[in-house]
Structures are given as C-alpha cells and as structure tokens.
C-alpha cells in the first residue's frame, strides 16, 4: 500500500510483461529511476506510454493478445499493482476483479477512466479518439505529482498525443460523413462510442461481453434488423473468429470484414494503426451515400 519498493523490485516489475530474453538484454538500462506505471488494459497502456515516454516504465496487466474482459490478476500482478507509482485503470465492471484489487490497494496516484465511459455498461470508450484524448492530461497530472521535475515534459507529450488523436478524429469525421445513419453490424457490440461519435447505428450480434452466448432468438432479431436496414457487412473481431455470427453471415449473404475493438492487441500492433485499419474497413463495408 505504501511505496516501500526498492530499486531491485522496481527493475523486476518493469520486466513482468516481457519474456526472459527481452529482460536479459539490458538495452534500456532497466527500469530504475523511471516512474513505475501499471495500466490494466491496452488502450490505457497506450496513453500511459505516449504521455510518459522514456521517463516511465509501463506494465500492462492484460498480457499482449490477452482478453481484457473479465481479467483475473495473479498474485504477482497484484503485487506489481501495489508497488506502482501510478495506476491507470477503467473501473466499472470491464474487469470487476481488478476493480476490487484497486479498491483494496488504494493507489496514491490513480487515474480512473470511468468518467469517459458514460454509456451505461459499455466500457469501450477508447474507440472514440476524442474521448481517449481526454485521458492524456489526467495521466500527465499524476506523473507530474510523482515526478515534478519533468512536469513540462509530461505536459508537452500529453499535448502531442491530444493533437494526434484530434487528427484521427477529424479523419474519421470526414471519411464517415457520407455514412450518417448507416448500420454498423458487429459481432461484438464494442462500437457504441464510435457509432455515437460518427452518427452510425450499431447492431451487435453478441452483447457487450463477447463471452456471453448468443441466443437463437437474438439471431432471428438481428436477421430482421439486417433485412430492414440493408446492411451488407458483418464486422467481426479477428482474434475471436466469427463463431455463431458465421451462420448469420452465410444465411443473410453478408460480406465479412475485421473491425478491431483494440482489446486483445498483438505485441506489434498499435492504437493508431488499428484505428486506421478500422476506418478503412468501415469505408469498405458500410452502406454510405454520396
């Protein structure tokens, strides 16, 4: 609970997310002296790293390729969280067991993204880049509280991140302007914030939590909506596969394309790359005017 960590522990925790090979090469000189940050999912890690640069060591408790829904923490991950200088988390149920651990550990410097996720039980706020941008300043403020000597660096980096996310938002706005009102048919109902921002109507086959099975009644309902709206593409998450949605796509003669919820993120993928790929998929697959 209190930050009694030693340099040895700090160096260890910085290596939690990488394999022994990556830890042993010593190329970054270890994590000593850097602000120790724990993020609980990839989009939060992205902001934490962009704002902190080399001044911070970020550990993501959702491993690369891991599913952020319903994450359970190992004792070691709980210890890492307890020793962090700054914790960046999204409370409110995406990771209920992590909510409990954070509440127990009471980190002194906690950024909770929950106010940005205000669509009821839908956690996927990062798919609206304008919302994600709002996290940058809060992260910079907590870093500055821990490491006041570098406050100006954190502020400048936060501003850079905000402006790059603003640019991405403008690209989306422009590209999707002819698509206002179009139906976004998604296998995982993760795109509510994106749909709200750019004037699309989301129809989700599975609900907000991709682990809940889709009922035959829900499938019939979706089939009706597809017929009514003339949607022609079913967007699915590559990592999850098509699953039950495949039957639906075949039955309704829908095309399929990948739309990434940016939750299970491979090591070499980044938020801007995935968002750009998502925009290209939407432009291909939505039924737009003009």
Interface size with Zn ion, residues (CB under 5 A): 3
66 and 73 Cβ atoms separated by less than 8 Å: no
31 binds Zn ion (CB under 5 A): no
- Note whether 200 binds Zn ion by CB under 5 A: no
Task: Report the residue number, 12 or 214, with the smaller CB distance to Zn ion.
Answer: 214
Smallest separation (angstroms) from Zn ion to the CB of 67: 8
90 lies in the binding site for Zn ion (CB under 5 A): no
Q: Which residue is nearest to Zn ion (CB)?
A: 190
Shortest Cβ 99–Zn ion spacing (Å): 16
Of 154 and 191, which CB lies nearer to Zn ion in the complex structure? 191
Q: How far is the CB of 261 from Zn ion (least distance, A)?
A: 5
Q: How far is the CB of 122 from Zn ion (least distance, A)?
A: 9
Q: Between 261 and 285, whose beta carbon lies closer to Zn ion?
A: 261
Q: Which is nearer to Zn ion, 43 or 261 (CB)?
A: 261
Q: Are 156 and 137 in contact (CB under 8 A)?
A: no
Q: Which residues have C-beta within 8 Å of that of residue 253, sequence separation ≥ 6?
A: none
| Selected range binding Zn ion among 107-115, 238-246, 260-268, 282-290, rule: CB under 5 A | 260-268
Q: How far is the CB of 264 from Zn ion (least distance, A)?
A: 9
Q: Label each residue of the chain as H, E or C.
A: CCCCCCHHHHHHHHCCCCCHHHHHCCCCCCCCCCEEEEECCHHHHHHHHHHHHHHEEEEECCCCCCCCCCCCCCHHHHHHHHHCCEEEECCCCCCHHHHHHHHHHCCCCEEECHHHCCCCCCCCHHHCHHHHHHHHHHHHHHHHHHCHHHHHHHHHHHHHHHHHHHHHHHHHHHHHHHHCCCEEEECCCCCHHHHHHHCCEEEECCCCCCCCCCCHHHHHHHHHHHHHHCCCEEEECCCCCCCCHHHHHHHHCCEEEECCCCCCCCCCCCHHHHHHHHHHHHHHHCCCCC
Q: For residues 9 and 180, what is the distance between their CA atoms, to the nearest angstrom?
A: 52
**Segment contacting Zn ion (CB under 5 A): 133-141, 165-173, 187-195, 232-240?**
187-195
Closest CB to Zn ion among 147 and 263?
263
List the one residue from 190, 200, 222, 265 that touches Zn ion (CB under 5 A): 190
Residue ranges in 154-173 that form contacts with Zn ion under rule CB under 5 A: none
Q: What is the closest distance, in whole angstroms, from the C-beta atom of residue 14 to Zn ion in the complex?
A: 28
Closer to Zn ion by Cβ: residue 86 or 94:
94
Residue closer to Zn ion by CB (options 37, 190) is 190
* 71 counts as binding Zn ion under rule CB under 5 A: no
Residues binding Zn ion (CB under 5 A): 190, 261, 263
């Amino acid at each position: 609970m209190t930050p009694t960590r030693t340099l040895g522990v700090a160096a260890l925790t910085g290596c939690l997310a990488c394999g022994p090979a990556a830890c042993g090469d010593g190329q970054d000189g270890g994590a000593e002296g850097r602000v120790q940050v724990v993020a609980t999912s990839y989009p939060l890690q992205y902001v934490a790293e962009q704002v902190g640069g080399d001044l911070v060591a970020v550990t993501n408790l959702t491993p690369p390729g891991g599913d952020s829904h319903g994450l359970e923490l190992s004792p070691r991950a709980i210890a890492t969280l307890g020793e962090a200088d700054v914790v960046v988390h999204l409370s409110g149920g995406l990771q209920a067991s992590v909510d409990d651990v954070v509440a127990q550990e009471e980190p002194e410097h906690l950024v909770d993204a929950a106010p940005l996720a205000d669509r009821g039980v839908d956690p996927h706020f990062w798919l609206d880049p304008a919302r994600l941008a709002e996290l940058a300043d809060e992260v910079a403020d907590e870093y500055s509280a821990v490491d006041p000597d570098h406050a100006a660096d954190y502020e400048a980096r936060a501003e850079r991140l905000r402006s790059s996310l603003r640019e991405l938002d403008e690209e989306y706005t422009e590209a999707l302007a002819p698509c206002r009102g179009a139906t976004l048919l998604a296998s995982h109902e993760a795109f509510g914030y994106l749909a709200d921002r750019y004037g699309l109507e989301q129809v989700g086959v599975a609900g907000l939590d991709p682990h809940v099975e889709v009922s035959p009644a829900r499938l019939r309902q979706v089939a009706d909506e597809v017929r009514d709206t003339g949607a022609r593409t079913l967007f699915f998450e590559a990592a999850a596969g098509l699953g039950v949605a495949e039957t639906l796509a075949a039955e309704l003669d829908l095309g399929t394309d990948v739309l990434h919820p940016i939750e299970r993120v491979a090591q070499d993928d980044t938020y801007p790359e995935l968002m750009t790929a998502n925009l290209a998929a939407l432009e291909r697959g939505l039924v737009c005017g003009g």
